[in-house]
Structure 1
Amino acid sequence: MHVISRKILREFCEAHADVSDTLYDWYRVATKAEWKNLVDVQTVYPKAEAVGNFTVFNIKGNHYRLIVDIVYSSQRIYIKYVLTHSEYDKDKWKDDPYF
């Protein structure tokens, strides 16, 4: 999978150093993956789930959420948001026009 944009991960990690190793581990796994559907994703990340048009990953023991748009046909992952659990619960990310 081609992950776009790593910059979002990098910026989030600068502000939340405690999650940087976990997010970079996710990035390494995702870039080597050849997921065809959500079931494939869930073989590696069982708690990943589809929410609207996005896929949501629980990161670092459910303290953070990684929200992405996966286009399986082109093998691309668009990173939309990385949020703390409390930011995620506010649901502002659901205002995204692609949601």
Structure 2
Amino acid sequence: SLSTSFNYQTHVDLRNTFPQADPVRVRPGKFSHPEEKTTLTVFNIGRSVRLIAFINYKRQEVSIRHVLTHEEYDRGNWKR
């Protein structure tokens, strides 16, 4: 389980376990301070769902931001 055994220092480490996990940059202020750029991680789950999470590697914390169908994800409203 990702939540109980999270021990990744970087996105590269994470991709060794979850090769379908992709980093996506979102506009400053969307999920953080207005000046900071934020990178979210998008996990492909099966053929129909994408889980979007903010990962704080330093604190070893995962915060789920969205669970979307591929169609909802493709519309892009989640990153505005």
Structure 2 residue aligned with 1:42? 15
Q: Is 1:57 matched up with 2:43?
A: yes
> Helix, strand or coil for the counterpart of 2:58?
helix
**Equivalent position to 1:69, from 46, 54, 58:** 54
Pairwise CA RMSD? 1.0
TM normalised by structure 1 equals: 0.64
Q: CA 1:43–1:30 in 2, change beyond 3 Å: closer, same or farther?
A: farther
TM normalised by structure 2 equals: 0.78
Residue ranges of structure 2 left out of the alignment (5+ in a row): 26-38
* Higher strand proportion: 2
Q: CA 1:54–1:79 in 2, change beyond 3 Å: closer, same or farther?
A: same
Deviation at 1:47, TM superposition (A): 1.3
* Higher helix proportion: 1
Identity across aligned pairs (percent)? 40
In 2: Cα distance, 1:50 partner to 1:31 partner:
21
In 2: Cα distance, 1:46 partner to 1:30 partner:
17
